[in-house]
Amino acid sequence: MHNKKRKICVITGTRAEYGLLQPIMQVIKDDPVFELQVVATGMHLSPEFGLTYKTIEKDGFKINEKIEMLLSSDTSIGVAKAMGLATISMSEMLDRLKPEFIMVLGDRFELLAVTQAALVSRVPVIHLVGGDVTEGAFDEAIRHSITKMSHLHFVTNKESQKRVRQLGENPENIFLVGNPGLDHLNNIKLMTKNELEKSLDYSFRKRNILVTFHSVTLDEKSSMDSFEELLIALDSFGDEVGIIFTKPNSDTEGRKIIKRLDKFSQSRINCVVHTSLGQLRYLSAASLVDVVVGNSSSGILEVPSLKTPTVNIGDRQKGRPRADSVIDCKPNSVIIKKSIKKAFKMNCNNTINPYGDGRTAPRVLKVLKKINSSKGLIKKHFFDIDFKEEFLIKEV
């Protein structure tokens, strides 16, 4: 029996990943067995990205530590230096807070830094949303690297469950729980059109589009070129189609996209741009618009549950399972425009989301409560797979 509450430290670096973590953080906070610790880092602390740590506090969570690690640069050198700075700071944080577990979600470079620190500090890692495939970004390599340094794995779909197992992880520590972002749809009341219009300072048109476009870190075509193709397509619809933009993350070329987006929207009366909508406004907007456009994971993971079509541009989300409401297209203005027109005519009422039923947080809590001690998790064994098919090995 544990006399003291068991400390689980959740580390979050972006608004998007916090939106997915929030339901799980809430059930941990509300449970008498656990003590929730929260560390905010990365974009949460940046005025440029909306100081979104305030959203965490507004939701009723105490932030135990704020760890600055972002440099005012989105070059590959700037990102690599930020990772080094984060690793140093996170190791010091773990020494101060002394959690029994840390919890991270996804594939951001900030999370790779803290996972490295936890590995050498002998703190077990709970990893959410591992095993996914996103071939268009270096996030994929980061995600799989975090998996290899983690001890408990909560995955969103069966394909991801298989991949984590393929990486040599203990099948008894891999749990299929669904996408935690869908829990919001069971927990919150979405805003009406009038409420959202007031909140966003935006007037809905006959047709409306929600756009989120992030940097594509591994594509041969630059993110800026792809974004320019998207803007050409959007501009061709004229003022009759309204556009709600959310700004990208602090990835390579992210600031260039933001600068171009600000310039594009300034001269157009049908556009509104927000650094961060937050979970309630984002999901409300996604439910009310005619189509969600861009390359954000939310278009694949959450939007299908709102029965809204998604136009997914490029390879950033390549490899993820999809609902039939998702239209994939190349970063070409003509193809993007055709895809949006197709989405305008779609009826997605019968769409089934492959990422779960919105009851992920209770499943995660149930598993955590069954783990008597974290000590037995530290020393990991590699669990080989018996391959039935022969793999060709090239002779050197």
pLDDT at position 166 over 90:
yes
User: Does residue 301 contact residue 284 with C-beta atoms inside 8 Å?
Assistant: no
Residue 136 sits in the same domain as residue 10: yes
Mean pLDDT of 4-16: 92
How many domains, in total, are found in the chain? 2
Q: What is the pLDDT of residue 315?
A: 87
Mean pLDDT of 136-161: 90
pLDDT at position 394 over 60:
no
Residue 26 sits in the same domain as residue 170: yes
The answer as to whether 158 is a domain residue is yes
Mean pLDDT of 175-194: 93
pLDDT at position 192 over 90:
yes
The answer as to whether 22 is a domain residue is yes
Q: What is the pLDDT of residues 365-378, one digit of tens each?
A: 999 999 988 888 99
Residue 50 sits in the same domain as residue 122: yes
User: What is the Cα–Cα distance from 100 to 375, expressed in whole angstroms?
Assistant: 9
Half-sphere exposure of 261 (CA within 13 A, CB side): 27
pLDDT at position 130 over 90:
yes
The answer as to whether 31 is a domain residue is yes
pLDDT at position 7 over 80:
yes
pLDDT at position 100 over 60:
yes
Cβ neighbours of residue 357 under 8 Å, at least 6 residues apart? 178, 182
Cα three-residue angle 55-58-62, rounded to 5 degrees: 95
Q: How far is CA 45 from CA 48, 65, 287, 340, 388, in A?
A: 9, 11, 29, 35, 49
Residue 36 sits in the same domain as residue 109: yes
Residue 251 sits in the same domain as residue 318: yes
Q: Which of 21-35, 122-136, 185-199 has the lowest mean pLDDT?
A: 122-136
Please report, in angstroms and rounded to a whole number, the separation of the first and last CA atoms in the chain: 56
Residue 137 sits in the same domain as residue 15: yes
Residue 247 sits in the same domain as residue 135: no
70-76 long-range contacts, CB within 8 A, separation 24+: 70/42, 70/43, 70/45, 70/46, 70/250, 74/215, 74/250, 74/251, 74/252, 74/253, 74/254, 74/255, 74/256, 75/252, 76/252
User: Does residue 255 contact residue 275 with C-beta atoms inside 8 Å?
Assistant: no
The answer as to whether 392 is a domain residue is no
Q: What is the pLDDT of residue 278?
A: 81
Mean pLDDT of 172-187: 93
The chain-wide mean pLDDT, for the chain, equals 90
Residue 53 sits in the same domain as residue 102: yes
pLDDT at position 266 over 70:
yes
Residue of 20 and 309 predicted with greater confidence = 309
Torsion of CA 359, 365, 371, 377, to 10 degrees: 80
Q: What is the pLDDT of residue 218?
A: 59
Q: Which of 37-51, 180-194, 244-258 has the lowest mean pLDDT?
A: 244-258
pLDDT class for 255, splitting at 50, 70, 90? confident
pLDDT at position 391 over 60:
no
The answer as to whether 390 is a domain residue is no
Task: For residue 194, give the CATH number of its domain.
Answer: 3.40.50.2000
Residue 92 sits in the same domain as residue 206: no
pLDDT class for 159, splitting at 50, 70, 90? very high
Residue of 136 and 195 predicted with greater confidence = 195
Mean pLDDT of 215-230: 80
Q: What is the pLDDT of residue 252?
A: 61
Q: What is the pLDDT of residue 1?
A: 45
Mean pLDDT of 283-295: 97
Q: Which domain holds residue 296?
A: 189-344
| Count, residues in the chain | 396
The answer as to whether 184 is a domain residue is no
